[in-house]
Amino acid sequence: MWKEPRDVLVDRVEDARDSQQAAAEEFRDALTEFKAVVKLPESELERQYNKLNAAFNRSKDAAEDINKHVDRVVAASNRLLDEWRLELDDYNDPALRRLAEQQFDQTRNHATRLIESMRQIESRMQPVLSSFQDQVLYLKHNLNLSAISALEGEATVIESNVDILIADMNRSIAEADAFINVILDREQT
């Protein structure tokens, strides 16, 4: 079934937004698991390590999902804007053409800001994932209390990084919602 490019773009922005929301939850869960590890008695370390490793892998998968959805948003945005740009030449009425050009420019600028916001989230996830990965690997080979002691200081740093990442994701999610509203409002007028 053929869909209007703007509808495809809205669907893909919604998917990317939802993906960011899911990723934020996965990062929160991974942080919770990490913080739980640093407070455990030695007898429960392996079980908790397994939970932490699973949470890390879910966070990594969520990050990859975001990357895929952002790429799809970029493709849909390009397709919509390319089609729209070509159609601007088809206007006979100069006033309507100017109005369409203004809407095109506004949409292009808004799409550019949205995509930049989403790309920033992609780049900001990597250091957090790398830090989690380092801690998980360290724990994997050092399931003892001295290893836990070494990680206690990292918990605060990781928590701060995750909090910043989630705040950034929330801003990007709000940008996606604003973009969707602009597109849908324009569709209704």
Q: What is the pLDDT along the chain (189 residues), one digit of tens a residue?
A: 778 888 899 999 999 999 999 999 999 888 888 777 766 565 577 777 788 889 999 999 999 999 999 999 999 999 999 999 999 999 999 999 999 999 999 999 999 999 999 999 999 999 999 988 988 888 777 766 666 666 777 777 888 889 999 999 999 999 999 999 988 887 666
0.85 exceeded by pTM? no
* CA torsion through residues 139, 151, 27, 164, sign: negative
Joined together, the tokens standing for residue 120 give: 């920033």
